[in-house]
Amino acid sequence: MPFSNIDLASITGWLDSAATQQWIVGILLILLFISFIREWLPVEITALAGTAVLMLTGILTTGDVLSSFANSGPLTVVCMFILSASLERTGLIGDLSKLFNKVAKGREFAALLVITLGAFAVSPFVNNTPVVVILMPIVLAFCRDHNIAASKLLIPLSYATILGGTCSVVGTSTNVVVLGQVQKLGFEGIQMFTVAPMGLIYAAAGLLYLWTIGRKWLPSRPTLSTMLPGGIQRDFLLQVRIPAGSSHIGTTAVDLMQSELLGTKIVEVRRRGFSMQEELQHITLEEGDRVLFLCNARKVNQVREAKGVDLGWDDSRGLEAMEQRDVQIVEGMIANNSEFAGQSLAELKLRQRFNIFVLAIHRQGRNITDMGSDTKLIAGDTLLLEGPQEGMNRILTKQRIIPLSQRSADAHNRSKQGWAILAMGIFIFIGLLGSFEQYGEFFKFFARFNPFYLAFIGALIVVISGCIKPKEAYQSVDWGIIFLILGMLCVGEAMSKTGLAKAIAFGVVDTMGPMGCLFAISGLYLLCSILTEMISNNAVAAVMGPLSYEMALQFDANPLPFILAVMFGASASFSTPIGYQTNTYVYNAGGYKFKDFVKVGLPLNLLLWAIFTCTIGWLYPLK
């Protein structure tokens, strides 16, 4: 047998050696980072594939993986998504639009102040990604109404939520992931607002920068709807029937569009109550067929005036008017967990399924109006959609499309606002009391309720009280982020188990030891900040969390400043639109180019790095 001479015992022994396992984990880590940057696969699939490799090589056991999956970090993030969704469903966050419009009064700088302060105030207690998703339509509507470039406000909106998220351990998933990692290693010195002193100084510097220097560097760029030639016209959805004896019987739907319906777009042909799924050029019209088409207001009026009857069609033209409905033109963004991501327009069949047309696509700073049926959509694409209200509602609510037009208040469950306020009040108040445990037994009692307990209780309250339905709660969670965190937690576990994290920490101490503990903390922050601009902030947090704790032990120092270096460094994604999800969302919605983030965000990154380095030793003891 060709395999009889293979010494399996030697191979197993080689795989079980500490040095081999460290090399495997190190090489795997590099490959994961390259895959994240090159986007060979969705990031969550890449992370889970890394976990599978670690299991196949025997580095992680089933128990190790299940232990990582039971980490409180991703479970806390799930609860925060549900809490955030409840605030949206009850209209609490949406009510900010009233204050926003009242205070801003059409002034750009006033709008900048209000939107950044409002986003900053909410973000320590609500996951910052939903905050941006909810506030984007408000900002875009305000900009359209007052002829202000949305690009002047959307980058500040994203940056303000990132800055606000650093003021508590639950404001950003980055902090939650790091917290779960170090708690597993035995460090229990972080409460809900332990990070607040640094976060407030950090955020104050960032906001002042946005209001002064950064404001001058913000570009003035058009959004998708204003980039279309000829602007946007209001259209109508019309329906006509092919009566007996019509001259159009036996012709195709395309022939009809090119003759009687010139200048319109046929949406659908219905026959005996069923929608014809074939391409229009292959549909031969029959008696009784109903044809739905889009027609702008000018065309409707021209036909009406020409014939003197409603909609202008009479039996002499072989068409009988049946129906007239308004259609909407809506901007929407493809979410990370949308079924649209990765599919072509032909595969989606939007016309057949929803009576929806895609007028244009905005992707990474460029506008695509000449897309074909083979054009594939990716997460983050902004679409300009046209179609009837019922189809638009289905596509926005069920297909994971984030609407960038202002949402209707009718969708809010306002009668349950009191329960949502109660849940958030308990969450914030008990968390705040627990942060003062050093001041006596009274406060120490509340310190036992860690962020996961509080988030879980809050999520349970809003679901039981009816603020959000169970199905809506499941749908509110971005499961791609959760699986990314779970996969990278397993990689972090492998780094700790094989001793790779400790070996790297030894190397750092040997190199930076003579320069001092503060130099190492500053370098750790800078490394995390650079990495998070290229790959997911959660991936950086999961990998660097255990490393920061090991570095502190090797320096015989207080672990907290090292841990905070990872929390703040991994959240400091300002220079690119790809490191942080909120940046990705505003990137397409605001019509930005990649260089806009570099121009505005790189100076902010350097400023915050300097502030962190200068203040960390003053706020938290290094030894």
Nearest to 613 by CA among 557, 570, 564, 545: 564
Instruction: Give pLDDT, residue 498.
Output: 83
For residue 303, pLDDT beyond 50: no
For residue 11, pLDDT beyond 60: no
Whether the predicted model's global pTM rises above the 0.85 cut: no
Q: What gap in Å lies between CA 327 and CA 355, rounded to an integer?
A: 10
Q: What is the mean pLDDT of residues 367-380?
A: 70
Q: Judge contact between 91 and 413, C-beta under 8 A.
A: yes
Report the number of secondary-structure helices (H) and strands (E) in the chain. Answer: 29, 9
Q: What is the mean pLDDT of residues 409-423?
A: 72
Q: How confident is the model at residue 142 (pLDDT cuts 50, 70, 90)?
A: confident
Q: Judge contact between 238 and 323, C-beta under 8 A.
A: yes
Residue ranges per domain, the chain? Answer: 243-318
Instruction: Give pLDDT, residue 505.
Output: 65
Average pLDDT, the chain: 76
For residue 47, pLDDT beyond 50: yes
For residue 8, pLDDT beyond 50: yes
The CATH homologous superfamily to which domain 243-318 belongs is: Regulator of K+ conductance, C-terminal domain (3.30.70.1450)
Nearest to 192 by CA among 447, 538, 535, 475: 447
Q: What is the 3-state secondary structure (H, E, C) of 425-468?
A: HHHHHHHHHHCCHHHCHHHHHHHCCCHHHHHHHHHHHHHHCCCC
Q: What is the 3-state secondary structure (H, E, C) of 276-342?
A: CCCCHHHCECCCCCEEEEEEEHHHHHHHHHHHCCHHHCCHHHCCEEEEEEEEEEEEEEECCCCCCCC
Per-residue DSSP letter, 252: B
Q: Judge contact between 159 and 576, C-beta under 8 A.
A: no
For residue 340, pLDDT beyond 70: yes
For residue 141, pLDDT beyond 70: yes
Instruction: Give pLDDT, residue 310.
Output: 32
Measured in degrees and rounded to the nearest 5, phi and psi for residue 386 equal: -135, 130
Residue predicted with more confidence, 9 or 58: 58
Per-residue DSSP letter, 514: G
The one-letter amino acid code at 538 reads: N
Q: Judge contact between 338 and 401, C-beta under 8 A.
A: yes
**181-193 per-residue burial string, b: 16 or more CB within 10 A, e: under 16:** bbbbeebeebbbb
How many residues appear in the chain? Answer: 623
Q: Judge contact between 581 and 539, C-beta under 8 A.
A: no
Instruction: Give pLDDT, residue 13.
Output: 59
Residue predicted with more confidence, 228 or 517: 517
For residue 321, pLDDT beyond 60: no
| CA-based radius of gyration for the chain | 28
Residue predicted with more confidence, 266 or 463: 463
Instruction: Give pLDDT, residue 364.
Output: 64
For residue 258, pLDDT beyond 80: no
Query: Is residue 115 classed as helix, strand or coil in its secondary structure?
Result: helix
Residue predicted with more confidence, 509 or 448: 448
For residue 424, pLDDT beyond 70: yes
Q: What is the DSSP string of 380-433?
A: T-EEEEEEEHHHHHHHHHHTTEEE-SPPPGGG--GGGHHHHHHHHHHHHHHHHH
Q: Which helix (H) or strand (E) is 274 found in, with range?
A: strand 274-275
Q: What gap in Å lies between CA 38 and CA 529, rounded to an integer?
A: 19
Among 125-134, 330-339, 473-482, 516-525, name the most confident range.
516-525
Q: What is the mean pLDDT of residues 336-356?
A: 76
Instruction: Give pLDDT, residue 439.
Output: 63
Q: How confident is the model at residue 600 (pLDDT cuts 50, 70, 90)?
A: very high
If you search the block for the tokens 């938290």, which residue do you land on?
620
Tokens of 623: 């030894």
Q: What gap in Å lies between CA 452 and CA 470, rounded to an integer?
A: 19
For residue 211, pLDDT beyond 90: yes
Instruction: Give pLDDT, residue 283.
Output: 81
Instruction: Give pLDDT, residue 307.
Output: 33
Antiparallel, parallel or unpaired: β 265-271 and 290-296: antiparallel
Q: What is the mean pLDDT of residues 311-315?
A: 41
Instruction: Give pLDDT, residue 210.
Output: 94
For residue 229, pLDDT beyond 70: no
Percent of the chain with pLDDT over 90: 9
Q: What is the DSSP string of 341-386?
A: TT-BHHHHTHHHHHS-EEEEEEETTEEE-S--TTPBP-TT-EEEEE
Instruction: Give pLDDT, residue 563.
Output: 92
Instruction: Give pLDDT, residue 605.
Output: 93
Instruction: Give pLDDT, residue 611.
Output: 94
Residue 473: partners with Cβ closer than 8 Å, 6 or more residues away: 82, 85, 459, 463
Q: Judge contact between 618 and 518, C-beta under 8 A.
A: no
Q: What is the mean pLDDT of residues 490-502?
A: 78
Instruction: Give pLDDT, residue 163.
Output: 93
Partners of 269 in the beta sheet?
A: 291
Among 29-43, 131-145, 434-448, 606-620, name the most confident range.
606-620
Q: How confident is the model at residue 156 (pLDDT cuts 50, 70, 90)?
A: very high
If you search the block for the tokens 């003035």, which residue do you land on?
220
